[in-house]
Amino acid sequence: EAQVTQNPRYLITVTGKKLTVTCSQNMNHEYMSWYRQDPGLGLRQIYYSMNVEVTDKGDVPEGYKVSRKEKRNFPLILESPSPNQTSLYFCASRPPGTGNTGELFFGEGSRLTVL
């Protein structure tokens, strides 16, 4: 089944403890992206990647890192999480050759709580 898989789905952690949220897609998509969703603010893009080894900042990149060493995986790294990073995170990917009109496929989300 074609899908975007995120792990963990739920995580409670403490301030300063490094964590990684993994994202994997099995559709051979080149474009991948991370969003966070907060009440009243909608979905905001954190980082995106046009292809392997090509990443760029979105609207709210502060406090996050990403890497894209292989096409299928796009992990989101919080080096030193803070309570303002408590949020619902979504990973998304897009089929190749569709440019900015292409459909985005989203994962089911990762709910992160930083105490």
Positions touching another protein (CB under 8 A) are 4, 31, 33, 35, 40, 42-45, 48, 50, 56, 58-59, 90, 92, 94, 99-101, 103-109
CB of 94 to another protein, least distance (A): 7
CB of 30 to another protein, least distance (A): 11
Q: Which of 54, 46, 51, 1 is nearest to 26 (CA)?
A: 1
CB of 7 to another protein, least distance (A): 14
Q: Which is nearer to another protein, 79 or 108 (CB)?
A: 108
